[in-house]
Amino acid sequence: ARTASGLFLWKGSYSMAEIRKMTLADIPAAAGLEKLCFPDPWSAKGLRDTLREDRACFLAAEKEGTLCGYLNATWVLDECSLNRICVHPSCRRSGIASALLAELKAFCRQNGIGSIYLEVRESNAAARALYRAEGFAELGRRPRFYTSPEEDAVLMGWTSE
C-alpha cells in the first residue's frame, strides 16, 4: 500500500518474526535493545526524533508480541543510510537481520532508492559477514569513527540490480 506521500509500506511475515513498520509505541523497546546491544546506544529521544522524519524507514521485527529487532534507516534522493540494525542477543542467527535487510532492500527498490550505505565496527566480524552475505561490499574505512572504544569503521555499500 502507498502512503499519502507515495511511499510504499510493507508488512512481511517470516518464520522467525513478523517484519512491520515501526511505530512510536515501539520506541521504549527499541531503546532497550539499543542499551543491550551497543556501547553507544541511541536514546529514546533520538530514535523518536528520527522516526518522525519524512525520509526515515524504521522496521520492527516482532516475535510473539515482543520487539526482538529493528532497523533504522534514512535516505536522501536515491541513497539510503542504514543507521542501525539491532537484534536481541537471544534471537540472533535466526534470520531476523536478513529479513530486516530484505525488507529495506524491497523498500528501496519500490521507491527508486538505488543504494544503501552503512558503517560497521572493524571488530564486528559477525555483522560484516552478514552484510557481505546480503550483497554489501566493503568500500573503505573511516579512521577512529567510533568511540567507547575508539575504533575504525568499515564503510560498506549495496546497489540494487
Selecting among 34, 62, 103, 131, the annotated active-site residue is 131
Selecting among 18, 119, 122, 151, the annotated active-site residue is 119
131 is an active site residue: yes
The C-alpha cell 529487532 sits at: 69
18 is an active site residue: no
Residues 6+ apart with CB under 8 A from 107: 7, 8, 10, 57, 113
Residues with catalytic function = 119, 131
